[in-house]
Amino acid sequence: MEFSWLFILNSILFGIGLAMDAFSVSLANGLNEPGMPASRVVRIAGTFGIFQTAMPLIGWVCIHTIAETFESFHKLVPWIALALLLFIGIRMILEGIRNTAGEEKKSLRGRELLVQGIATSIDALSVGFTIADYQFPLALTESVIIGVVTFGICVAGIHLGRKLGTKLERWAPVIGGIILVLIGIEIFIKGVI
């Protein structure tokens, strides 16, 4: 593959496909915190964008260095994503149920955001297989395009979640937690089948 408009279009489409899990988690985050300041929106979307940029590159490096080890790790990806998203989702549901009495909601902490970033982008490691024949500059360009697309989609997801969150304020964290659990199950099922 060489740099062309078709390459850019393919990279954008790849980014859209890979960003759907991060979009759903961003939606859940927006639901959980309807009054989220713009700086946190950028931090959340930026985290997802960075992970979606890094994971295909890590996959590309693994193919060019330690392909056999990566192949055995690939089987664990659905299990890891399921465990991480179940943990965060169930915790969000429980906190949402406790907070229905009118307590103040907790905003997303850095550690939880990192876990979400890993859980939603770990499947992007496999993109390294599909771009294995690319030279590094093309692999880097595709990864950056994927990250930028993810960033934009996540900003949209957070804003949509914030709008819905103000309408569903009381139960928004519970709904957001359920969404995370469902995403974890969906990633698991896709990865196992």
Residue 180 has pLDDT above 90, yes or no: no
Q: In this predicted structure, what is the pLDDT of residue 77?
A: 67
Q: How many domains does the chain have?
A: 1
- The boundaries of the domain holding residue 177 are 5-192
Give the per-residue pLDDT at 52: 93
pLDDT of amino acid 154: 94
Share above pLDDT 90 across residues of the chain, in percent, rounded to a whole number? 21
What is the Cβ-side half-sphere exposure of residue 87, based on CA atoms within 13 angstroms?
12
pLDDT, average across residues 124-136: 76
pLDDT attached to residue 131: 76
pLDDT at residue 191 is higher than 70:
yes
Q: Is residue 156 helix, strand or coil?
A: helix
Q: Confirm if 151 and 158 have CB atoms less than 8 A apart.
A: no
CA 48 to chain centre: 5
> What mean pLDDT do residues 39-45 have?
93
Mean pLDDT along residues 94-100:
71
The pLDDT confidence band at residue 170, using thresholds 50, 70 and 90, is low
Helix, coil or strand: residue 137: helix
Res. 8: pLDDT tops 60 = yes
Of all helices (H) and strands (E), which one includes residue 104? none
Cβ-proximal residues to 172 (8 Å cutoff; 6+ apart), any chain:
31, 32, 34, 96, 164, 165
**What is the reported pLDDT for 48?**
94
The pTM is what? 0.72
Q: How confident is the model at residue 134 (pLDDT cuts 50, 70, 90)?
A: confident
d(CA 102, CA 96): 10
Secondary structure letter of residue 106 according to DSSP: P
**What count of Cα atoms within 13 Å lies in the side-chain half-sphere of residue 169?**
10
Q: How confident is the model at residue 149 (pLDDT cuts 50, 70, 90)?
A: very high
Is residue 99's pLDDT more than 60?
A: yes
Over the stretch 51-92, which tens digit does the pLDDT of each residue have? 999 998 988 887 777 655 556 666 776 777 677 778 777 876
Q: What number is the average pLDDT over the span 166-188?
A: 71
In this model, does residue 6 exceed pLDDT 70? Answer: yes
Per-residue pLDDT at 54 = 93
Helices (H), the chain: 5-32, 38-65, 67-74, 77-98, 110-121, 127-130, 136-167, 172-192
